[in-house]
């Protein structure tokens, strides 16, 4: 097992927390016991993950004398909304969960974001623990404390920064993950290489076949290196007042795609892949990277079996939806652009003509 600390203060503070990464650690409940104020927890999961992993976690907790309240949500991005959030509150209240009752998220990013937002707001905040079971959640969404839900007008528009007490990523849970979901998770792994870790990008290119084949050692290395990158960014800028925005490479376009096509039609990682190709095209048109760089980026996603052609929504629709992005400041759209492979920055100075032309050319040819 490997452990990374997310240090949220110069010296270890109560909010600093460990990320444990390993094979078969779902049942090692001793990893979470010290983070539980009481021996009773609520486990938020969904109809797909519950039959696979809920009993294993519950019985391991029982072995430690801890009772659990299961809360089983409908599965899917289209359920990441107020109604589903309310189902969590209904259960927490009905089962009389208290301020000391931790909320555990057992599932992918949708369960994690919903459960985290519930933990942040139930009784004004209860302890939160993450057991991510998708690659995307293990490399990204379970770390860093972004929680929330979608709104019909925009993705992840309502939420809170609320850090977990501990993250336990068991790589063997990825054995049951559908192929398409595994590929979607790889999109967020590639992101770290593109924005800040070029050596990792080379490693991903070299190990893509093993990653897709779920080679256990390669999966653990990908999760470990991704979490190290994410932890460093979150430690430097927990509330996204600066460099954390770089983690949104491709997301401004990607969120527009997810919203326009209907939440759940394209997976988040698929939209991020096609969105990153648009961000790369924009970076090239701003004379930051070369055509060779764009082709390299496109090829990595092709290797991963991810979409590289963004849907042709028309520039107006893209511009409208991107105008609702969380990065918009003073009414100006802001884009994460690549200065070179391995280095990114946020730009609010993209001329409207260049953006519109890129959207016309790069989505029309899709």
CA distance 220 to 23: 8
The contact pattern for ligand NAD, residues 10-49, with x = CB under 6 A and - = no contact, is ------------------------------------x-xx
User: Is residue 206 flagged as an active site residue?
Assistant: no
Instruction: Quote the DSSP letter at residue 329.
Output: B
- The window from 130-138, 237-245, 290-298, 317-325 that contacts ligand NAD (CB under 6 A) reads 130-138
Q: Would you say 26 and 131 are in contact if contact means Cβ atoms under 8 Å apart?
A: yes
Q: What are phi and psi of 260, to 5 degrees?
A: -65, -40
Q: Would you say 312 and 365 are in contact if contact means Cβ atoms under 8 Å apart?
A: no
Q: Which of residues 211-230 bind ligand NAD (CB under 6 A)?
A: none
The contact pattern for ligand NAD, residues 45-84, with x = CB under 6 A and - = no contact, is -x-xx--x----------------------x-x--x----
- The window from 16-24, 170-178, 274-282, 286-294 that contacts ligand NAD (CB under 6 A) reads 170-178
CA distance 125 to 129: 13
CA distance 347 to 39: 48
Helix (H) or strand (E) holding 115: helix 109-121
Q: Does 307 bind ligand NAD (CB under 6 A)?
A: no
For ligand GLY, which is the closer residue by CB, 22 or 109? 109
Q: Which of residues 196-255 bind ligand GLY (CB under 6 A)?
A: 244, 247-248
68 binds, among ligand NAD, ligand GLY, none (CB under 5 to 8 A by kind): none
User: Is residue 299 flagged as an active site residue?
Assistant: no
CA distance 149 to 72: 17
52 binds, among ligand GLY, ligand NAD, none (CB under 5 to 8 A by kind): ligand NAD
Beta strands in the chain (DSSP E): 2-6, 17-22, 40-46, 67-73, 103-107, 128-132, 146-151, 154-161, 166-170, 335-340, 343-347
Residue 105 beta carbon to ligand NAD: minimum distance, rounded to whole angstroms: 10
Q: Does 191 bind ligand NAD (CB under 6 A)?
A: no
Catalytic residue among 268, 284, 285, 334: 268
Sign of CA dihedral 86, 49, 145, 70: positive
Give SS3 for 42: strand
Residue 138 beta carbon to ligand GLY: minimum distance, rounded to whole angstroms: 13
- Cβ atoms within 10 Å of 348's Cβ, excluding its own: 12
User: Is residue 146 flagged as an active site residue?
Assistant: yes
Residue 132 beta carbon to ligand NAD: minimum distance, rounded to whole angstroms: 7
Q: Does 231 bind ligand NAD (CB under 6 A)?
A: no
Instruction: Quote the DSSP letter at residue 79.
Output: G
The contact pattern for ligand GLY, residues 118-157, with x = CB under 6 A and - = no contact, is ----------------------x---x-x-----------
Strands 166-170 and 154-161: unpaired
- The window from 23-31, 108-116, 314-322, 341-349 that contacts ligand NAD (CB under 6 A) reads 108-116
CA distance 365 to 357: 12
Here the tokens at position 37 are: 């104020």
Give SS3 for 332: strand
Binds ligand NAD (CB under 6 A): choice among 4, 57, 111, 355:
111
User: Is residue 230 flagged as an active site residue?
Assistant: yes
Instruction: Quote the DSSP letter at residue 81.
Output: S
Binds ligand NAD (CB under 6 A): choice among 141, 171, 229, 259:
141
**Which residues form the interface with ligand NAD (CB under 6 A)?**
46, 48-49, 52, 75, 77, 80, 107-111, 113, 133-134, 136-137, 140-141, 144, 146, 156, 173, 176-177, 181, 184, 268-269
> Known catalytic residues?
124, 146, 188, 230, 240, 244, 248, 251, 255, 268
């Amino acid at each position: 097992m490997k452990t990374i600390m997310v240090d949220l203060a110069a010296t270890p503070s109560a909010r600093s927390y460990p990320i444990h990464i390993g094979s078969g650690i779902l049942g090692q409940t001793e990893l979470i016991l010290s983070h539980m104020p009481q021996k009773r927890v609520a486990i938020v999961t969904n109809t797909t993950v519950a039959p696979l992993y809920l009993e294993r976690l519950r019985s391991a907790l029982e072995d430690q004398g801890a009772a659990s309240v299961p809360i089983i949500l409908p599965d899917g991005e289209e359920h990441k909304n107020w109604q589903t959030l309310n189902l969590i509150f209904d259960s927490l209240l009905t089962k009389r969960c208290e301020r000391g009752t931790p909320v555990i998220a057992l599932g992918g990013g949708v369960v994690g974001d919903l459960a985290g937002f519930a933990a942040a707001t139930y009784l004004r905040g209860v302890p939160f623990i993450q057991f991510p079971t998708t690659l995307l959640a293990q490399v990204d969404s379970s770390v860093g404390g972004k929680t929330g839900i979608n709104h019909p007008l925009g993705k992840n528009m309502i939420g809170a920064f609320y850090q977990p007490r501990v993250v336990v990523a068991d790589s063997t849970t990825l054995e049951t993950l559908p192929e398409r979901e595994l590929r979607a998770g790889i999109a967020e792994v590639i992101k770290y290489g593109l924005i800040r870790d070029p050596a990792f990008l080379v490693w991903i290119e070299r190990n893509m076949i093993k990653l897709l084949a779920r080679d256990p050692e390669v999966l653990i290395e990908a999760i470990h290196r991704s979490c190290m990158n994410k932890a460093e960014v979150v430690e430097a800028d927990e509330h996204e007042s600066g460099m954390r925005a770089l983690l949104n490479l491709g997301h401004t376009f990607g969120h527009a795609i997810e919203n326009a096509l209907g939440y759940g039609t394209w997976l988040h990682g698929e939209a991020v892949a096609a969105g990153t190709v648009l961000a790369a095209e924009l970076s090239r048109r701003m004379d930051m990277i070369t055509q060779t760089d764009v082709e390299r980026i496109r090829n990595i996603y092709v290797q991963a079996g991810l979409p590289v052609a963004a849907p042709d929504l028309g520039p107006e629709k893209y511009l409208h939806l991107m105008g609702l992005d969380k990065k918009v400041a003073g009414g100006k759209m802001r884009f994460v652009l690549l200065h070179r492979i391995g280095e990114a920055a946020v730009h609010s100075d993209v001329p409207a003509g260049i953006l519109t032309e890129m959207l016309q050319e790069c989505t029309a040819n899709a």
